[in-house]
Amino acid sequence: MPTSLVSGNIWKIAVIRTVRSFLLIIPVIVLFFRENGLSLREVFILQSLFSVSAVVLEVPTGYLSDRFGRKNSIITGYLLGVVGHGVYSFSHGFRGFLLAETLLGFGASFISGSDSALLYDSLGELSRLREHKRIEGRNTSLSLFSEGTAGILGGVLAMVSLRLPLYVESIVMCAGIPIAFLLVEPQRERLNAVHTARHEMVRIIRYALHEHAELRWLILFSSVVGASTLTMVWFIQPYLAAAGLPLGYFGAVWAAFMFIGSFFSWHAHSVERSLGRTFSLVSLIAMPALAYLILGTSDALMAGFVIVLFYVTRGIHNPVLADYINQLVDSDIRATILSVKNLIGRSMFSIVGPFVGWASDAYSLQTALLLCGMIFLVSGSATLLGLTRATSH
């Protein structure tokens, strides 16, 4: 395979992630759900069901990606995502949104792990693996910058109609389809299944979560960090609304958070190198936990500035931990292992999300935020301790 074709995967994956992150509706999506009659508990249930739909296919699609090609998996996932966005645009209630979220979840499961595996193996063929952390960080940075830019535009469009961002977003998503078809499969070690698909998937899951201690704790730690930032995404809008921020500023504030995350993601490799592995890992747990506890004790708009800590965490989290995990696994099972990581993270959010959403409806937003702080501080500390012990042996 000519190296020029394989090297093209680097910018193509960056474009695909950037387009997929151009989510115009996100800065006002909770308000959109509320306008269509959903309670905050139903919002969290809907997002949990998205995670469940992704979980159902997460490992099978990772396995299919390892067996039959990452490009085919990405194309399938992207097309499902485009259809899901279209369904969202014309839905007006919980059932319609559920169908859309299911399609989006299935689509996400096909792409999840496959894009990272394709990037890592492409760099491996090009003898550029040392650049992986930097390139992964810059891809995440571009995704966050795209989401931030979309936040500004989405906030403006929402002033006309809360549904207009969805219409425009559905059209934009189509731009990534031809790029997905232009991806090239790098040379890599293929997964040769000597048993049934089910047996092979169980074997890989057992290896990731039982036989390889460091990998197990890295996956669990990454899942806690990911769930801590994802849960906050669905609390930001209710918090800012309760604090009195006018709707017209939602897009700009959302964009500011994204741009901060983008900056830290772009420089994630430098931050990790400066702080060192241990302090970097401690910070990824401490920052979101501290932010939850502060937000849970104050509903003042000024306290909302600590939301920045979630986006610093989000910017550093994926490039650093994805690189740690990729270094520990072989090419033939890479996508499946990354899918296992995503499965654990989604499962964690599926459990925590509805619970804290219920706490917000039944008691108060501050109560829910305090619960999040305690949940993620305890679970994060436990997984970090396990990782530390596994690494030291």
What does the pLDDT read at residue 161? 87
Which of 12, 120, 122, 115 has the alpha carbon at shortest distance from 62? Answer: 115
188 CA to centre of own chain? 26
| pLDDT for the residue 196 | 65
Rg (Cα) of the chain, in Å, rounded?
A: 20
CA pair distance 191, 188, nearest whole angstrom = 9
Q: How many CA atoms lie within 13 A of 44 on its CB side?
A: 26
- Are the beta carbons of 291 and 299 closer than 8 angstroms? no
pLDDT tens for each residue of the chain, 393 residues long: 556 678 888 999 999 999 988 988 877 788 888 888 888 778 878 877 777 776 677 677 777 777 778 888 899 989 998 999 889 888 888 889 889 888 888 888 888 778 888 888 888 888 888 888 888 888 888 988 898 888 888 878 888 888 898 899 889 888 888 999 999 888 765 555 555 667 777 888 888 888 888 999 999 999 999 999 989 987 888 888 888 888 777 778 878 888 898 899 888 889 898 989 899 999 999 999 999 999 988 777 677 788 999 999 988 988 888 888 888 887 777 777 877 887 788 788 878 888 888 898 888 989 999 999 999 999 999 999 999 998 876
